[in-house]
């Protein structure tokens, strides 16, 4: 297991952490996000998007549940908000099990604690904790082949 800790002091720094993280990802990565409301999960994914899909305007998928971001006509990021997922049938209806195994796209799931049964073993776990009004502690945990 490989742990990385990052401390940020603004939304912009959290986005920058996401940019750096995305630069190290392989195609087909699955990233499971954990953290309270307003912790910075979407800001981190927005930073990832600036590297993986520069023309996309990454925003929270709270109402749509899944946002797809495309580059050159291909989906490169599936951004999921699992907060309102209540069971496996709900998750299935989003198409999750189809796109979660896309070898060409990154899957970023906010509120992963709501769907532990659906997370792959090789998921990269990103936990974002509020440590102050604008400060965050970001812990990235890689296991197995992602170490």
What confidence score (pLDDT) does residue 61 get? 86
pLDDT score, position 143: 83
Q: Are 2 and 78 in contact (CB under 8 A)?
A: no
Average of pLDDT values for 21-43? 96
Least trusted range by pLDDT, from 52-56, 66-70, 87-91, 141-145: 141-145
Question: Residue 144: what pLDDT?
Answer: 65
Q: What is the per-residue pLDDT for 34?
A: 98
The fold adopted by the segment(s) 2-146 is Rossmann fold (3.40.50)
C-alpha to C-alpha distance for 133 and 83, rounded to whole angstroms? 23
pTM: 0.92
Q: What is the pLDDT of residues 92-143, one digit of tens each?
A: 999 999 999 899 999 999 999 999 999 999 999 999 999 999 999 999 999 8
Tokens of 46: 């927005």
**How many angstroms separate the CA atoms of 12 and 18, rounded?**
10
């Amino acid at each position: 297991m490989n742990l990385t800790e990052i401390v940020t002091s603004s939304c912009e720094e959290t986005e920058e952490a996401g940019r750096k993280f995305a630069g190290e990802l392989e195609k087909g990565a699955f990233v499971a996000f954990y953290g309270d409301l307003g912790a910075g999960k979407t800001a981190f994914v927005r930073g990832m998007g600036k590297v993986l899909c520069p023309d996309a305007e990454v925003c929270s998928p709270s109402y749509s549940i899944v946002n797809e971001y495309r580059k050159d006509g291909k989906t490169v990021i599936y951004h999921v908000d699992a907060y309102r997922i209540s069971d496996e049938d709900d998750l299935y209806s989003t198409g999750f099990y189809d796109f979660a195994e896309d070898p060409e796209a990154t899957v970023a799931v906010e509120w992963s604690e709501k769907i532990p049964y659906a997370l792959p073993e090789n998921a990269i776990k990103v936990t974002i904790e509020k440590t102050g009004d604008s400060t965050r502690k970001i812990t990235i945990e890689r296991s197995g082949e992602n170490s």
